[in-house]
Amino acid sequence: MDTQVHLGYDLASVKQSLVPAANSGRVVFAGPLTIYGNTVVVDHGLGLQTLYAHLSAMSVKEGDPIEKGQELGRSGATGLALGDHLHYEVLIHGISVTPLEWWDGKWIRDHIGKPLREANVALLETEQPATATQEPAATPVRKRRPAGAGGPPRGTR
């Protein structure tokens, strides 16, 4: 029996479906890659990369900047594939991890965003790490009116 480990997920599609980038970044590889066939790898920074394989066509080349949702190519059956689909992987420092967590916004906020914010690492170009001289932004506090304090009871106007 074959004991290979299949990393990532095979996503069903209609023939030659558009393959969008999961997030912005830069193409670090675009070309044939052994069993994966035509493959695009996007580097998103901080050691995070996504891999898109078995593509019938590639719309990007190595070095291209990528925006979230931008077309990387079309699904296909190149390499060792038995039908048109997209093989999708998430890699952390070159190690394949399950992409399921990376499809969950709450998981990303809790396990990626929170630790990075606590470490003062900017997550977006518009975010800057806090410095020792910066005051944290004030959070508006909504004051509640004590029962019976001024004005008619709620719902009686």
- Report the pLDDT averaged over residues 46-69: 96
- Report the pLDDT averaged over residues 123-147: 42
Residue 127 belongs to some domain of the structure: no
Domain that includes residue 53, residue range: 9-118
Burial 14-40 (b: 16+ CB within 10 A, else e): eeebebebbebbbbeebeebeebbbbb
Of the pLDDT bands very low, low, confident and very high (cuts 50, 70, 90), residue 151 is very low
Residue length of the chain: 157
For the chain, what is the domain count? 1
pTM higher than 0.85, yes or no? Answer: no
Token pair 């004005």 in the structure block, residue: 151
- Report the pLDDT averaged over residues 16-45: 96
CATH code where residue 66 lies? 2.70.70.10
Q: Between 47 and 147, name the one with better pLDDT.
A: 47
Q: How high is the pLDDT of residue 46?
A: 87
Within 10 Å of residue 78's Cβ, how many Cβ atoms? 20
Residue 41 belongs to some domain of the structure: yes
**pLDDT(137) > 60:** no
Residue 140 belongs to some domain of the structure: no
Residue 85 belongs to some domain of the structure: yes
Q: Residue 103 carries which side chain, given as an amino acid letter? A: W
Residue 29 exposure: Cα atoms within 13 Å on the Cβ side? 15
Residue 45 belongs to some domain of the structure: yes
Token pair 């095979």 in the structure block, residue: 10
List, for residues 84-134, the tens digit of each pLDDT value. 999 999 999 999 887 777 777 787 788 888 888 888 887 654 444 444 444
Residue 132 belongs to some domain of the structure: no
∠ CA 58-62-64, nearest 5°, is 90
Q: What are φ and ψ of residue 127, in 5° steps?
A: -90, 135
Residue 80 belongs to some domain of the structure: yes
Which 3 state secondary structure label does DSSP give 92? strand
Q: How high is the pLDDT of residue 3?
A: 55
Q: How high is the pLDDT of residue 40?
A: 98
Residue 76 belongs to some domain of the structure: yes
